[in-house]
C-alpha cells in the first residue's frame, strides 16, 4: 500500500484526494456546490447528486494531476459510504467500485464522521490518544472519545439541529447571506456578545447538544425588539443585528464548550480535536485552543480545508484498514444513516428518534 485515493460525495462537496501510507497529503481537491444551492437556502438532494456526477471525473483528474501521479500509481481506494444524502453517496460508491474493479484495487467504505474525527491526525500526526473529538458541521454535531486509533465512543450528539444548521437558520431569519455561518462569524466580530440574553440549554436524560432553542430565541428577540431582517443580504447590518448575532454566536460556542469541558474533567483525555465546517468559526477556534491550554492538553484544530468536507480525511480514515489488507469490494453499501461509535451510540440515537 503506497498511495491511497479518497473519494467524498456525501453532501454538497465533490472531493478527491491522494495521501501516502504515512498519511501525508499529496493532493486534496474539492469542488463545492454552495453557489448552486444558495438560491434555495439549503442543499437540494437531487441537484446535488447530479452535480456530483458531472464533477467527479474532472475532480479525480485534477487530484491525480496535482499529486503528480497516474491512476496506475494508486494502491487502494477509500470512499465515504455514509452518513449523507443517499443519491450523493451512491455516486461516490459506484465510482470507487468501478475504479477498483477496473484496476484490481482494494476499496474500503468509510464513515464520513470518522473522516471528520481523523482530520485531527491529518493536521497533527503525533496527536496522542486517548483523544476527545468535537465534530461540528452543517449536518452533524457530536462529541467522541477516541481511546485508541480506530475506536470511537460517542459521548453526545445533537438531538435537533446541528450547530452549523443553527447558524444557517438564524442567518436566514435575519436576511443574511447563505451559508449563514461565515456571515454571522464575520459580523459578530463587531458586536457585543452580552447585548442579548441566551439562557443555557437544559436537557434531561443522556448528555446531548441542542440548538433549535437558540433559533426560537432569536425569533422571539427579533419580535420583542422590533428587529427586521435585512432587505438585501448584502446590506450593511444595523447595530441590533450585529449585537444579536454576536450574542447568538457566543451562546452556541459556550454550549459546545460546556459539554467538552465536562467530558475533559470526567475522562481526562490527552488531546482534543475540533473538526467540521463550523470549526472555521473564529470564536470557537480561539476558545477551544484556550480550553486545551487551560487543561494542558495537546490539540488539533485542522486548517479550514481539512475541517470542511474533503477527501483527504476519508483517505486517512480508510488507510489503516487498507494497510491491514481490508477490502469491501463485494459488500460496500451506501447508507444515509450510519452511526459512529458502537452500540452505546446506537442505543442513544434510537431513544432520541
How far apart CA 336 and CA 82 sit, in angstroms, is 5
**Given strand 3-8, what is the order of strands in its sheet?**
25-32, 13-20, 3-8, 76-82, 107-111
How far apart CA 82 and CA 118 sit, in angstroms, is 16
Q: Is 139 in the site for ligand KG4 (CB under 6 A)?
A: yes
Span near Zn ion by CB under 5 A; candidates 69-77, 132-140, 226-234, 265-273: 132-140
Query: C-beta of 11: minimal distance to ligand KG4 in Å?
Result: 5
How far apart CA 95 and CA 145 sit, in angstroms, is 32
Q: Both ends of the chain: CA-CA distance in Å?
A: 41
The residue among 13 and 243 lying less far from Zn ion, judged by its C-beta, is 13
DSSP state of 101: H
* 114 CA to centre of own chain: 10
Span near Zn ion by CB under 5 A; candidates 151-159, 175-183, 236-244, 305-313: 305-313
CB-side neighbour CA atoms (13 Å) of 305:
13
- String of DSSP letters for 2-31: -EEEEEE-SSSEEEEEEEETT--EEEEEEE
> Residues 6, 115, 120, 138: which binds ligand KG4 (CB under 6 A)?
138
Which secondary structure element, helix H or strand E, spans residue 162, and what is its range?
none
Q: Is 281 in the site for ligand KG4 (CB under 6 A)?
A: yes
The residue among 80 and 154 lying less far from ligand KG4, judged by its C-beta, is 80
Residues 172-191 that bind ligand KG4 (CB under 6 A): 179-182, 185
> Residues 28, 33, 80, 137: which binds Zn ion (CB under 5 A)?
137
Span near ligand KG4 by CB under 6 A; candidates 68-76, 87-95, 135-143, 189-197: 135-143
DSSP state of 134: E
The residue among 50 and 285 lying less far from ligand KG4, judged by its C-beta, is 285
Please tell me the count of residues contacting ligand KG4 according to CB under 6 A: 20
Hey, how many other C-beta atoms are within 10 angstroms of the C-beta on 205? 9
Span near ligand KG4 by CB under 6 A; candidates 21-29, 145-153, 270-278, 338-346: 270-278
> Residues 76, 193, 213, 277: which binds ligand KG4 (CB under 6 A)?
277
Q: And the C-alpha cell for 117?
A: 474525527
Q: And the C-alpha cell for 242?
A: 450585529
How far apart CA 349 and CA 344 sit, in angstroms, is 9
Interaction mask 268-297, Zn ion, x per CB under 5 A = ------------------------------
> Residues 193, 213, 240, 276: which binds ligand KG4 (CB under 6 A)?
276
Q: And the C-alpha cell for 87?
A: 443519491
Q: Is 269 in the site for ligand KG4 (CB under 6 A)?
A: no
Binding site for ligand KG4 (CB under 6 A): 11, 137-139, 164-165, 167-168, 179-182, 185, 276-278, 280-281, 308-309
Amino acid at each position: 500500500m503506497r498511495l491511497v485515493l479518497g473519494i467524498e460525495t456525501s453532501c454538497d462537496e465533490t472531493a478527491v484526494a491522494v495521501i501516502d501510507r504515512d498519511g501525508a497529503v499529496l493532493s486534496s481537491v474539492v469542488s463545492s456546490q454552495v453557489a448552486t444551492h444558495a438560491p434555495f437556502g439549503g442543499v437540494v438532494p437531487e441537484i446535488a447528486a447530479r452535480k456530483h456526477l458531472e464533477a467527479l471525473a474532472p475532480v479525480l483528474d485534477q487530484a491525480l494531476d496535482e499529486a503528480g501521479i497516474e491512476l496506475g500509481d494508486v494502491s487502494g481506494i477509500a470512499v465515504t459510504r455514509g452518513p449523507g444524502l443517499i443519491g450523493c453517496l451512491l455516486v461516490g460508491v459506484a465510482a470507487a467500485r468501478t475504479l477498483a474493479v477496473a484496476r484490481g484495487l482494494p476499496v474500503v467504505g468509510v464513515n464520513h464522521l470518522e473522516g471528520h474525527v481523523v482530520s485531527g491526525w491529518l493536521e497533527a500526526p503525533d496527536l496522542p490518544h486517548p483523544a476527545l473529538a468535537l465534530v461540528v458541521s452543517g449536518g452533524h454535531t457530536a462529541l467522541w472519545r477516541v481511546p485508541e486509533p480506530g475506536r470511537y465512543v460517542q459521548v453526545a450528539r445533537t438531538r435537533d439541529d446541528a450547530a452549523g444548521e443553527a447558524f444557517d437558520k438564524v442567518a436566514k431569519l435575519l436576511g443574511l447571506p447563505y451559508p449563514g455561518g461565515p456571515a454571522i462569524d464575520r459580523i459578530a466580530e463587531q458586536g457585543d456578545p452580552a447585548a442579548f440574553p441566551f439562557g443555557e440549554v437544559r436537557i434531561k436524560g443522556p448528555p446531548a447538544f441542542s440548538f433549535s432553542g437558540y433559533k426560537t430565541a432569536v425569533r422571539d428577540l427579533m419580535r420583542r425588539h422590533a428587529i427586521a431582517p435585512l432587505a438585501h443580504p448584502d446590506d450593511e447590518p444595523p447595530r441590533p443585528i450585529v449585537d444579536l448575532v454576536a450574542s447568538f454566536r457566543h451562546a452556541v460556542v459556550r454550549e459546545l464548550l460546556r459539554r467538552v469541558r465536562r467530558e475533559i474533567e470526567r475522562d481526562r483525555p490527552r488531546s482534543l480535536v475540533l473538526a467540521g465546517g463550523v470549526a472555521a468559526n473564529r470564536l470557537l477556534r480561539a476558545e477551544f485552543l484556550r480550553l486545551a491550554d487551560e487543561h494542558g492538553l495537546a490539540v488539533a484544530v485542522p486548517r479550514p480545508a481539512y475541517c470542511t468536507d474533503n477527501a483527504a480525511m476519508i483517505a486517512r480514515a480508510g488507510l489503516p484498514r487498507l494497510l491491514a489488507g481490508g477490502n469491501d469490494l463485494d459488500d460496500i453499501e451506501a447508507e444515509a444513516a450510519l452511526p459512529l461509535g458502537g452500540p452505546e451510540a446506537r442505543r442513544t440515537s434510537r431513544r432520541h428518534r
